[in-house]
């Protein structure tokens, strides 16, 4: 078993990296200048980076953050939370609600984000408790918030679609003065480093994988599965708060109906494309982040090919199905067997000569 796990961890990133390679090669063949980067002046007069590559990294920021949380939830609970979009809508609504009617400064933004995080974590824990204490599948348990989350976001601001304007919010959602890289990209990098350090310096990652692979064995080894699952949902709430608040800063308003709509499906796909099993257990956080950027790269590519927004989802589904099938255990086992057969035949041929 340990040998299989070791082998799986080494090959887990092959699928997302290969998919990223294919998308890159396709775009370079279609348009050699697709990934070119230029320096322009934005509306504030600052020099910033521009280009499709920047758009991909920038546009996938919220998805990359939510994909990290979805990975931990999937690993520990053997299921997926389909309410992250609604949860982000609630967090974004709380964020705007605190900011409304106040002079927006650093302290106000921190307070608004703290309130959004607290509320998001409480709602995430609600789903987490249903999953942990009653052994309900996460996808079923999260249907509650998936259905009620956006109406709750609607009620928080009294049914309005309020706007919030401040240079500080604009900086968070676009560019910090003097820094040419979009600030959401920097936030993803900083948060990714933080999560990686937490997983490496603590036993959280190991325990999450252990619970996901065999909960009974984990319990016999002194691991509390309920606690590990709840921690995963706490992190999910934090990530939803970051994604929701970041989206508000990006567009300057909260619309409960459209904010991060359908992002839960993309987050699940990012986990799958990242080579992670949707049945829990072993995971690679980097794979999920790469999966998020692959999804955004596909979207940007299709728009560059002048595919209508209505057709984009259908084309994305076809490509994603192919990537997921290639990364499935059945296909991977057969490819591994074929590879070993080729190696044996090559050795036999070399020995006969």
Q: Answer yes or no: CATH 1.20.1070 is held by domain 2-305.
A: no
Q: What is the pLDDT of residue 7?
A: 43
Q: Which residues of the chain have pLDDT under 50?
A: 1-8
The predicted model scores a pTM of 0.90
What are the φ and ψ backbone dihedral angles of 163, each rounded to 5 degrees?
-105, 155
Where do the structural domains in the chain lie, given as residue ranges? 2-305
Query: pLDDT at position 11, please?
Result: 61
Among 159, 158, 313, 153, smallest CA distance to 248 is for: 153
pLDDT of 157 reads 87
309-326 and 263-273 helices cross at what angle (nearest 10)? 30
pLDDT at 8: 47
**Whole-number pLDDT of residue 346:** 83
């Amino acid at each position: 078993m340990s040998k299989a796990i070791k082998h799986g961890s080494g090959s887990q990133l092959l699928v997302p990296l290969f998919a990223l390679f294919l998308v890159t090669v396709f775009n370079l063949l279609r348009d050699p200048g697709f990934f070119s980067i230029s320096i322009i002046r934005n509306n504030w007069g600052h020099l910033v980076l521009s280009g499709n590559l920047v758009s991909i990294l920038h546009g996938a920021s919220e998805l990359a953050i939510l994909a990290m949380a979805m990975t931990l939830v999937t690993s520990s609970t053997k299921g997926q939370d389909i309410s992250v979009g609604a949860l982000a809508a609630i967090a974004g609504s709380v964020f705007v609600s605190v900011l409304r009617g106040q002079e927006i400064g650093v302290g106000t933004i921190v307070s608004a984000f703290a309130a959004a995080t607290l509320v998001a974590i409480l709602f995430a824990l609600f789903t987490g408790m249903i999953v942990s204490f009653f052994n309900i599948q996460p996808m079923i348990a999260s249907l509650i918030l998936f259905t009620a989350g956006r109406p709750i976001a609607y009620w928080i601001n009294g049914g309005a679609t309020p706007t919030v304007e401040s240079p500080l919010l604009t900086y968070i959602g676009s560019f910090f003065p003097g820094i040419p890289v979009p600030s959401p990209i920097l936030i993803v990098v900083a948060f990714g480093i933080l999560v990686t350090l937490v997983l490496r310096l603590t036993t959280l990652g190991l325990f999450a994988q252990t619970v996901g692979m065999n909960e009974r064995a984990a319990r016999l080894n002194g691991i509390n599965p309920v606690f590990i699952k709840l921690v995963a949902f706490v992190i999910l709430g934090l990530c939803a708060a970051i994604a929701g608040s970041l989206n508000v800063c990006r567009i300057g308003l909260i619309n409960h109906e459209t904010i991060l709509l359908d992002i839960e499906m993309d987050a699940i796909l990012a986990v799958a494309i990242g080579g992670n099993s949707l049945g829990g257990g072993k995971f690679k956080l980097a794979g999920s982040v790469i999966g998020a950027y692959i999804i955004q790269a596909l979207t940007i590519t299709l728009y560059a090919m002048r595919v209508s927004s209505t057709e984009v989802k259908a084309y994305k589904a076809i490509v994603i199905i192919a990537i997921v099938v290639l990364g499935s255990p059945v296909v991977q086992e057969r490819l591994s067997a074929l590879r070993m057969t080729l190696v044996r035949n090559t050795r036999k041929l070399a020995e006969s000569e």
